[in-house]
Amino acid sequence: MIAYGLRRAANIHLQGLSVGKQDRSRIKHHKPAVVWFTGLSGSGKSTIANLVETRLYAHGVHTILLDGDNIRHGLNKDLGFTELDRVENIRRIGEVAKLMTEAGLMVLCSFISPFRAERAMVRDLVGKDEFIEIFVDTPLAECIARDPKGLYKKAMAGEIEISPVSLRVTSRRRRPRSSSPETLRPPSRRRRRSSRCSPRAA
């Protein structure tokens, strides 16, 4: 987590509300939840999340899909791809997802979210019973072949660097020592045993 040196107000209190999550959920006829898709760039997170939302919508489920790229065009357009920015990116999304579950929605989130601690933070925030984590376990070679955003091509050309541990993308002024796919090796992958399993990350 990031410890900001900000002056926070100490005289704020939670306001009690007459209508709560259960009330909002009742009129929608389904329980709220956060379905969190994580995986490499190009793994198919957004595609799968979009298909899932389409199916849920067809069944009358009230949904919202939060996509990493879309969010960075608005709410998080002031953030970059440093480690600190990535943490703040997920923190904000976690808070938004929580608010939307309070509204009784089924919230689908598609983010690389490489840090296990931040995914755990969101789980704790919304509650473990309403958080479903899905690791889209696509081989790196397939992600490189797809490369829908051209990130892997830029990495191999030395324009950007994709960390082999956290897969964070940062600007790079000098060419990396190696531009082979080995420099883009993702964290060790584990087979998905349950909805909480996730890619190994720092």
- Taking Cα atoms as reference points, which of 98, 93, 99 lies closest to residue 112? 93
Q: Which residues contact 80 (CB under 8 A, 6 or more apart)?
A: 170
The DSSP symbol for 157 reads T
Q: What are the b/e assignments for 63-78, b being 16+ CB within 10 Å?
A: bebbbbeebeeeebee
Residue 67's DSSP bridge partners are: 110
Of 110, 113, 163, 198, the catalytic one is: 113
Token readout for 124 is 């704790």
3-state secondary structure of 191: coil
Residue with tokens 């009784």: 104
Residue 110 among the catalytic residues = no
Which positions are annotated as active-site residues? 113
